[in-house]
Amino acid sequence: MTMAARFGLDGAHEHRPAPVFYDLTGNSDSETETLPKFSPIKEDASLVATLPRRSSSTLRLPQKRMIDDISSKDISPSPQSTQHQLPDHQNNQSLPTLQPPSRFKTPSPAPRANVEVVIPSPSPRQQKLIKTLKPAESPHDGFWDRRFPTDAEEREKAALRAYPQARRVDRSIISFALAPRHMPHTSITPAQALRYELNQKLKRISGPQVSFDMDDEKVAMLSANFGFLNEYKLQDGITRADPAFNAGCTCNGPCDPESCDCVEMEEEEDKPILTYRRVHDKVVLGSEFLKRKRHPRILECNEACGCQGKCWNTVVQRGRKIRLQIFDTGGRGLGLRSPDPIVAGQFIDIYLGEVISKKEADARENTDEKNQSYLFTLDHNRNDGAVIAEYGEDYDDFYVVDGQKFGSPTRFMNHSCNPNCIIAPVYTTNHADHLVYYLAFFALRNIQPKTELTFDYNPNWDGKNKIDPNAVQCLCGEHNCRGQLWPNARKKGLKI
């Protein structure tokens, strides 16, 4: 056999390295010439030189593949063929005897010619530490203590804190994403986990408490990804008017509703549109305003005003004052109510969501599989002189609020043909922002605690509209029910 074939260098002749064979018995007297005539020390040089030997068991014993390469008569090595001598005391031990190759029939992949062993070096910190250690007492068993640390050495290292110490942790202060801190150590259902997660989100809503008043299973009607908002979420392409264009009233001291510049005038009448008034301890919308078929916008005072936004005309910007509950209505999905009594004209909350372009709203509406809509177009100022002057008469790209994935509790308000709430456009901090304003809900009449809060989704209904078979069916159950929420023509691709 050539050297090249033996080391697997000559691929044309032999791809597999020649087998390495150690004579461990030292008592064979035959077949010397049939064994490969090579030095196992030489072939194993890389391994043998770098790997420390613990005992005779670390010597490479013939492996299955090696034995397959050799006929059964080849496996009685002679003392003469033994190239790797064992110390005397090891030679005296009873060493493993070779088994006939007939036991190994399964073919195995050829061994790789080059074997590389990478042993990670200790880090500089570990090296420094190792130098400081006194050599542990050797039990004189042939083990190299540096490579095979004794228990004594391990204990010393531990004493020197060579190993990272377990940190003491106060588990009671760890907050978990899905499990409440004080929850008993019982498993929770996915519905309970979802409820917990959504409750955590509810807690981040500003103002009095908002809660779920229903079973865990019903809470699952709401996606875990739903995000509650305290302010509009402006999406790509949505811009707000420059605050520099904001204007305020010139009132000197508390604003007078008869003369305050923030109070809009009736069309073609030299008369202010009366909005808020005081009833006992509350500032509420007056009945004249509530009774209107179309509710005009409300301009609340702000920092640019003579009153510096401290007068009565600041109801919506002061935020929600009642508690709210999201509950299961049955056929109409989730709904909204309050455990508190509400008086006529009282502010309830604003409608929040993502503010998106009309184009984006069209795309979302057309891909929405469910027949639910949370879209509100901010087009109240369509006929406003200032808007027409700025954007033109045919302008139709008004922004849209989408409360489907992000929103405020009012996003759960259902439609009723006999509603108990109205919705009005309200400007707070910037009167020049005609494209982004708030949609604010007010009570239309006194509302008893736990009564569902509803509004009219189609306030322009004139009573003569035919029932559209494609419209979403109304389930409000009121005596004057129209039978439909709104024509669903766009979703079905129909023309109306």
Strands 227-228 and 354-356, by their bridges, are: unpaired
Site for ligand SAM contains 214 (CB under 6 A): no
> Residue 81 or 408: which CB sits closer to ligand SAM?
408
Judged by CB under 6 A, the stretch of 10-18, 94-102, 254-262, 370-378 that binds ligand SAM is 370-378
Catalytic residue among 22, 232, 276, 351: 351
Asked whether position 418 contacts ligand SAM by CB under 6 A, the answer is no
CA angle in degrees (0–180, nearest 5) for 235-236-238: 75
- Assess whether 351 carries a catalytic annotation: yes
User: DSSP string spanning 137-195?
Assistant: PP-SSS--TTTS--HHHHHHHHHTT-SPPPPP--GGG---SSS-TT--SS---HHHHHH
Measure the N-to-C terminal CA separation of the chain; round to a whole number of Å.
93
Q: Does 374 bind ligand SAM (CB under 6 A)?
A: yes
Distance from C-alpha of 309 to C-alpha of 316, rounded to nearest angstrom: 12
Least Å from the CB of residue 399 to ligand SAM? 18
CB 185 → ligand SAM: shortest distance, Å? Answer: 34
Q: Return the exposure string of 202-239: e unless at least 16 CB atoms fall within 10 Å of the residue's CB, then b.
A: eeebeeeebebebebebbbebeeeeebbeebbebeebe
Residue type, 182: H
Q: Can you name the residues that pair with 326 across neighbouring β-strands?
A: 212, 336
Residue entry with tokens 């494209």: 435
When asked if residue 430 is in the footprint of ligand SAM (CB under 6 A), the reply is no
List the one residue out of 21, 33, 23 whose CA is nearest residue 82: 23
> Least separation, in Å, of the C-beta of 364 and ligand SAM?
13
Q: Does 334 bind ligand SAM (CB under 6 A)?
A: yes
* Residue with the CB atom nearest ligand SAM in the bound state: 333
Which residue in 162, 247, 304, 472 binds ligand SAM (CB under 6 A)? 472
Cβ closest to ligand SAM, residue 70 vs residue 194: 194
Q: How far is the CB of 485 from ligand SAM (least distance, A)?
A: 6
- Minimum Å gap between C-beta 482 and ligand SAM is 10
Q: According to the binding rule CB under 6 A, does residue 289 interact with ligand SAM?
A: no
- Assess whether 427 carries a catalytic annotation: no
Q: What single letter denotes the amino acid at residue 18?
A: A
- For ligand SAM, the binding residue among 474, 482, 487, 488 (CB under 6 A) is 474
**Contacting positions for ligand SAM (CB under 6 A):** 332-334, 371-374, 411-412, 414-415, 472, 474-476, 485
As annotated, the active-site residues are 351, 457
